[in-house]
Amino acid sequence: MSLPTAEPPPTPPHRAALGDRSLFPDLRWPIYANHAAISPPSLAVRAAVAAALEAYATEGVGAFGAWHAQRGRLKGLLADLIGAAPADIGLVPNTTAGLIAVAQCFPWQAGDRVVVFEGEFPTNVTPWQQAAAAFGLEVVTLPVADLARPGGADLGPLEAALRRGARLVAISAVQFQTGLRAPLEAITGLCHAHGAQICVDAIQALGVVPLAVGAVDYLACGGHKWMMGLEGAGFLYARPDRAAALRPRLAGWLSHEQAADFLFEPGRLRYDKPIRPRIDFLEAGAPNSAGYAGLEAGVGLIAQLGVERIFDHVQRWHDAAEAGLIERGFTSLRAPDRARRSGVLGVRPPAPHTVAGLAAALGERGVACTTPDGVLRFAPHWPNALGEVPRLLDAVDDALASA
C-alpha cells in the first residue's frame, strides 16, 4: 500500500467569538482564569485530535503521509502568527525542548558568557546552566526588576553585561508571575549592537500578545497555554543563518536530507547523508501527530479573532478586575503602561491573607487561578466574558470574609 501524501482536510469549522465559552461545554469552572497554566481543549481541538486518531486507527501507517503534510500547514499558521517563514520553524514538544536544543547546539566556545534573568521561569535558566557545565560557559544573572521600572525598562545593567562580552541573552517575552512584557525590540537591538544573540521564551505571550520575531535569533513556544493546543506540541523558530550555524548535537534519523527514502527505494540505506541546515533538523523522530493536529485547531481559532482583538478583550477584563481588587486592598503588579502588559494579571492580597489560602478559597467558589512564587495570578483569554468580573469580585469578597 502506498502512503497518501495529500493533506487531511481541516476539521469541521468551529467559530470563535470573544467572551463566548460555547466551544468549552464541559469546562466545570464557572470562571477559568488560568490560561497562563494550561488552556482546556476546545471542541475544535478535540475534533482535530479525534480526526488524527481516527485516521491512524483506520489506516495505520497509511495515515502517516497525510498527517506529515498537515504539519506543513501548521507551520504556515505558526509562521503567520509570528511574522516568519514556515521554513524557519521546527516542531518540538514544548518550550523546554526548544531552549534545550539551542543551548546544546549553539556553537559555544569555552569561556563564553550567557545572560539570564533572576525571576525567570526555570525553563529559561536550567538549559543554560546545563550548557555552561557541558561547554565551560559563564552564566551571568541580572535582576528582572530592572525591566519593571515605573518609567520604563532600565537596560543599563544589560548593556553593561554585554559590554563585558556575552554570546547570548535568554529572556522571556512575558514574565510568568507579573505578566510584565519585555521590550524585545530594544533588547534585540542592544544584543546585536554588542555582537550577542537573543533567545526568547514566548510561551506566556503567543496567542494573547501581539508578537513578531523581527530580528530575534531564536524563539521557543509550547502550545498548551495561550495558543490553546495540547501539552507536548510546540515549536522553535530560528533565523536561517543562526539555524545553519548550530551544531546538530540533537540530530536523529529524520534529521538527514532524504532521510526516509530507503524505506521506499532499495539501495538507499546510508548513514552519511547530510543533516539539514534548517531548524527542522530537530524533527528527529516520530512526531506527536495528534498533538500537532490539536495545535493547528487552537491556533486556527486565534487566527479567526486576531491577536490584537484578543489582547484588547483581555485588557478590558483586566481593567475591571484590577480596579475591583485594588479597592479591596490588593496590590497590583500589572505594568502601568499598555506596551508592557500581557494576558497575566498578578496581584498580592491584603494582610493578613495569604496567596495560597485565597487561591484555595477562590477555587472552592469556582474560580480557577494559580499562585506562582507567591503571586495570585489571573489569566483570562478570548473565551472569558467581561460579565465574569462582577462574579469574580463577589467570590473574592466571600473568600476574604471566610478567611
CATH number of the structural domain spanning residue 224: 3.40.640.10
Does 63 map to a domain? no
Indicate whether 217 and 273 sit together in one domain. Answer: yes
Indicate whether 380 and 326 sit together in one domain. Answer: yes
Indicate whether 144 and 276 sit together in one domain. Answer: yes
Indicate whether 290 and 353 sit together in one domain. Answer: no
| pLDDT at residue 4, rounded to an integer | 45
What's the mean pLDDT in 219-245?
A: 98
Percentage of residues in the chain having pLDDT higher than 70: 97
Percentage of residues in the chain having pLDDT higher than 90: 92
CATH number of the structural domain spanning residue 377: 3.90.1150.10
| pLDDT at residue 6, rounded to an integer | 58
- Residue 2, pLDDT above cutoff 60: no
Q: Which band of pLDDT confidence, cut at 50, 70 and 90, is reported for residue 13?
A: confident
Does 46 map to a domain? no
Indicate whether 229 and 364 sit together in one domain. Answer: no
**Which of residues 79 and 9 earns the better pLDDT score?**
79
- Residue 151, pLDDT above cutoff 90: no
Indicate whether 270 and 251 sit together in one domain. Answer: yes
Q: In terms of C-beta density within 10 A (0-12 exposed, 13-18 middle, 19 or more buried), how is residue 118 classed?
A: exposed
Indicate whether 103 and 212 sit together in one domain. Answer: yes
- Residue 139, pLDDT above cutoff 70: yes
- Residue 102, pLDDT above cutoff 50: yes
Indicate whether 347 and 332 sit together in one domain. Answer: yes
pLDDT digits (tens, 9 = 90+) for 23-48: 999 999 999 999 999 999 999 999 99
Does 21 map to a domain? no
What's the mean pLDDT in 176-199?
A: 97
pLDDT digits (tens, 9 = 90+) for 261-285: 999 999 999 999 999 999 999 999 9
- Residue 10, pLDDT above cutoff 70: no
Does 16 map to a domain? no
Read off the pTM: 0.95
| pLDDT at residue 403, rounded to an integer | 74
Indicate whether 76 and 177 sit together in one domain. Answer: yes
Does 192 map to a domain? yes
Does 109 map to a domain? yes
Q: Which band of pLDDT confidence, cut at 50, 70 and 90, is reported for residue 152?
A: confident
Cα 233 from Cα 230, distance rounded (Å): 6
Indicate whether 246 and 368 sit together in one domain. Answer: no
How many domains in the chain?
2
Mean pLDDT of the chain: 95
Does 247 map to a domain? yes
- Residue 11, pLDDT above cutoff 60: no
Q: Which domain holds residue 120?
A: 69-302
Least confident of 12-21, 76-85, 241-250: 12-21
Does 122 map to a domain? yes
Q: Which band of pLDDT confidence, cut at 50, 70 and 90, is reported for residue 7?
A: low
